[in-house]
Chains A and B, each alone.
Chain A
């Protein structure tokens, strides 16, 4: 696990500041070497890094379902990069402003060679504080990028008033209450907030979000994209829970962008932790319940047109 190369996916609508962030990452004195996969050459002013051009070729695998799309060009590039192992410590993938992050993320789970060699570290989305609200209305891609993010960098805050900033933050939270959110000017923030997040590592879901099992997020609602969080004060029955979660993600997979959860199984000293991207689910028992800790279970889904009532009832019905 540890010797897999971490990959950070950088998304963001056109003009939000992706290239600024990328240049900041590359120029900071961190002593690390990056291989950078970009869409267009020329904007990056770095010459001692390994920079590779990509074509964003989205391929369907198997049955042609949206959940089984991958980035064919990424598979090819990573195959080539792995021959130069040792020349770089991490990979950054910059997507175009109009890209859906799902095929990029799915590439790291669907392709065996890629998942053997590299691990998705986090999806980082740069958003323009002034224009994001408008884009969320007219650009489905912008909404996907916010919904998908593990880290959101709300950039250009100097161009908006405090009220406008609060409003755009509320919009972001309505779509994705769980991502780490940073307010920046010129994408200025400590690089550690962007890289080495381990957002897809089951081990770290608990570490990053120690309060995951605590209720406490406000629930705003975007008209179309929503997050649903259901908590159960107690344990779930794995014989009921596993078929339920697997059926839900199979049936609703196209609408579920991300999901994660921590649940308690009876007589299991460890927590069961899972996370998913569309139809792809990854789960395992991780980390002991602490002595005296309340064994509770919680699942969250971020998606489009989800049936909140059915999901809540379905989850609660798996109680042990």
Chain B
């Protein structure tokens, strides 16, 4: 089945003019927050939008949400937080560094990278700083406990900010970009400059997992709700690795879903079903059901409007997307 013949959900999409390249999306309960490359955060609820100047005269490079607030990092060296009421304030500020790596924990802690320094602030406001060997590219909090994975050149570092012990080093030659932690905390996976993923099995043996074969870099990673699958971008299909066994995906073939003649730019697993949202560089978005590979069209290809951000709300009823040309939209699933 191809995108052209897929049954369509396009009439269930509300389009939004975000006005600038959308770099990140977060859901704050019923409100979608779009982080923009011109420094603004566009809040969208029902049919209304409200723009907040979170990074005036600057650009938002990264944004993450804990369900309550939208935390953004900018090329102004600031970490800002925006709420559903349109209030915004500075959480942290560094001189001269871009903030392009950021993570929030469900408990209210957050961490950001500024060059080689990683700064973590817990929910009580206690701040700890760790210097890693080279620029921190990706940050991810462990699913439980106050522990941070940091990806950088030649590996990743696992750090308990509030524990004195020396951080743990996970080594693998090469430049590691984004990092993610499996929902059961058994695996840490990075995307790499060399068009591959690298994973470490933390339990029981610190084994390496090499997942290669991508024609380009993977910059979007998404775990299924039960942690059994890891969906990735970077190929002309969503590449989905099986993680249900203790060994991880070693020796197994990944699944490929949504094969189209365009590169997948973003992926987002539905929060409680085996449904994957697959977004492409040519602007198309599909929903793919893993059980039978059936596809639903959310957005047809639009020239110059590649998808740059994609996020489900907590209930899985709505999917927000944003594009490089400032177009955006929200799909509301029919009930």
Binding site for B on A (CB under 8 A): 41, 52-53, 55, 57, 59-62, 64, 70, 72-73, 75-77, 80, 83-85, 111-113
Neighbouring A residues of B173 by C-beta, 8 Å: 60, 64
Neighbouring B residues of A73 by C-beta, 8 Å: 135
* B98:A55 contact, CB within 8 angstroms: no
> How far is the CB of B194 from the nearest CB of chain A, in Å?
6
User: Complex formed: what's the CA distance from A44 to B142 in Å?
Assistant: 42
Neighbouring B residues of A111 by C-beta, 8 Å: 193
User: Complex formed: what's the CA distance from A77 to B96 in Å?
Assistant: 13
User: Complex formed: what's the CA distance from A70 to B115 in Å?
Assistant: 18
B2 CB–A CB distance under 8 Å: no
* A52:B75 contact, CB within 8 angstroms: yes
A72-B134, A72-B175 known; A77 vs B217 contact (CB < 8 Å):
no
Per a CB cutoff under 8 Å, which of B23, B116, B175, B194 touches A83?
B23
Q: 28 A-B Cβ contacts within 8 A?
A: A52-B98, A53-B97, A55-B134, A55-B135, A59-B153, A59-B175, A60-B174, A61-B175, A64-B173, A70-B193, A72-B134, A72-B135, A72-B175, A80-B59, A80-B75, A80-B98, A83-B21, A83-B37, A83-B59, A83-B61, A83-B308, A83-B324, A84-B21, A84-B38, A84-B59, A84-B75, A111-B193, A113-B216
* A80:B61 contact, CB within 8 angstroms: yes
How many residues of B are counted as interface, with CB atoms below 8 angstroms from the partner's CB atoms?
Answer: 26
User: Complex formed: what's the CA distance from A64 to B324 in Å?
Assistant: 34
* B193:A57 contact, CB within 8 angstroms: no
* A57:B153 contact, CB within 8 angstroms: yes
B137 CB–A CB distance under 8 Å: yes
Neighbouring B residues of A72 by C-beta, 8 Å: 134-135, 153, 175, 193
Binding site for A on B (CB under 8 A): 21, 23, 37-38, 59, 61, 75, 96-98, 100, 115-116, 134-135, 137, 153, 173-175, 193-194, 216-217, 308, 324
User: Complex formed: what's the CA distance from A71 to B320 in Å?
Assistant: 34
Neighbouring B residues of A61 by C-beta, 8 Å: 174-175, 193-194
A72-B134, A113-B217 known; A84 vs B37 contact (CB < 8 Å):
yes
* A75:B193 contact, CB within 8 angstroms: yes
> How far is the CB of A141 from the nearest CB of chain B, in Å?
21
User: Complex formed: what's the CA distance from A111 to B177 in Å?
Assistant: 13
* B97:A62 contact, CB within 8 angstroms: no
The 7 closest A-B pairs by CB, nearest first: A83-B37, A83-B21, A59-B175, A53-B96, A84-B59, A84-B37, A80-B61
Closest-by-CB residue of B relative to A110 is: B193
Majority SS at the chain B contact face: loop
Q: Knowing that A52-B98, A55-B134, A57-B153 touch, tell me 13 more A-B residue pairs with CB under 8 angstroms.
A: A53-B96, A55-B135, A59-B193, A60-B174, A64-B173, A72-B153, A72-B193, A73-B135, A80-B59, A84-B38, A84-B59, A84-B75, A113-B217
User: Complex formed: what's the CA distance from A64 to B194 in Å?
Assistant: 12
User: Complex formed: what's the CA distance from A62 to B115 in Å?
Assistant: 24
Neighbouring A residues of B134 by C-beta, 8 Å: 55, 57, 72
User: Complex formed: what's the CA distance from A15 to B193 in Å?
Assistant: 34
> How far is the CB of A128 from the nearest CB of chain B, in Å?
28
User: Complex formed: what's the CA distance from A52 to B76 in Å?
Assistant: 10
User: Complex formed: what's the CA distance from A53 to B135 in Å?
Assistant: 13
Neighbouring A residues of B193 by C-beta, 8 Å: 59, 61, 70, 72, 75, 111
User: Complex formed: what's the CA distance from A170 to B27 in Å?
Assistant: 65
* B174:A76 contact, CB within 8 angstroms: no
User: Complex formed: what's the CA distance from A70 to B175 in Å?
Assistant: 10
User: Complex formed: what's the CA distance from A52 to B58 in Å?
Assistant: 12
User: Complex formed: what's the CA distance from A113 to B215 in Å?
Assistant: 12
Neighbouring B residues of A76 by C-beta, 8 Å: 100, 135, 137
* B217:A112 contact, CB within 8 angstroms: yes
* A55:B175 contact, CB within 8 angstroms: no
> How far is the CB of A71 from the nearest CB of chain B, in Å?
11
Neighbouring B residues of A60 by C-beta, 8 Å: 173-174
* B75:A41 contact, CB within 8 angstroms: no
User: Complex formed: what's the CA distance from A113 to B37 in Å?
Assistant: 18
Neighbouring A residues of B217 by C-beta, 8 Å: 112-113
Closest-by-CB residue of B relative to A113 is: B217
Neighbouring B residues of A55 by C-beta, 8 Å: 115-116, 134-135
Neighbouring A residues of B61 by C-beta, 8 Å: 80, 83
Closest-by-CB residue of B relative to A42 is: B96
Neighbouring B residues of A57 by C-beta, 8 Å: 134-135, 153
